[in-house]
């Protein structure tokens, strides 16, 4: 079993570069942090919280995220995301997540939520598509 317990925390940061803008990733025409990139930073914080506590050979997979991106972050500014485990129910872990830049919170309300599953959904993906499918994790591939 894992050592995942409520209260564990993790974080991730990103200095926004031109490649992280809505214009660059195709999610808009503005040169500020793209929402998909903000979500990626939040997921990185969740991974930093959970994965060090998983058994060898296990990984996590995010399945639900609820946040609203409410502030624009320009190129050059640092974004910081945090995650804290709220509940653990078998393989399901619920986290409270936040993201902020150097000036404002980037998500509405005091918290967002990310649910992850340990290992199970990845196994289902491998069963459905095979270990060398583009639908499985990249480090399973030889290239």
Is 58 annotated as catalytic?
no
Give kind and range of the element (H or E) at residue 118.
strand 112-118
Catalytic residue, chosen from 20, 21, 43, 49, is: 43
Give CA 21 to chain center in angstroms: 18
Catalytic residue, chosen from 2, 69, 100, 125, is: 69
Is 87 annotated as catalytic?
no
Give the Cα-Cα-Cα angle 49, 36, 93 (nearest 5 degrees).
30
Is 84 annotated as catalytic?
no
Catalytic residue, chosen from 2, 11, 35, 136, is: 35
Distance CA 99, CA 97 (A): 7
Which sequence positions are flagged as catalytic?
Answer: 35, 43, 69
């Amino acid at each position: 079993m894992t050592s995942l317990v409520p209260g564990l925390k993790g974080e991730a940061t990103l200095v926004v570069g031109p490649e992280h803008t809505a214009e660059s990733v195709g999610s808009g025409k503005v040169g500020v942090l793209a929402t998909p990139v903000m979500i990626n930073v939040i997921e990185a914080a969740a991974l930093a919280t959970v994965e060090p506590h998983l058994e060898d050979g296990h990984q996590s997979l995010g399945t639900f995220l609820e946040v609203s991106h409410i502030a624009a972050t320009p190129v050059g500014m640092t974004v910081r995301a945090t995650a804290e485990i709220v509940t653990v129910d078998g393989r399901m872990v619920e986290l409270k997540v936040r993201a902020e830049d150097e000036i404002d919170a980037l998500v509405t309300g005091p918290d967002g939520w990310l649910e992850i599953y340990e290992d199970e959904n990845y196994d289902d993906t491998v069963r459905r598509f095979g270990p060398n499918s583009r639908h499985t994790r990249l480090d399973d591939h030889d290239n």
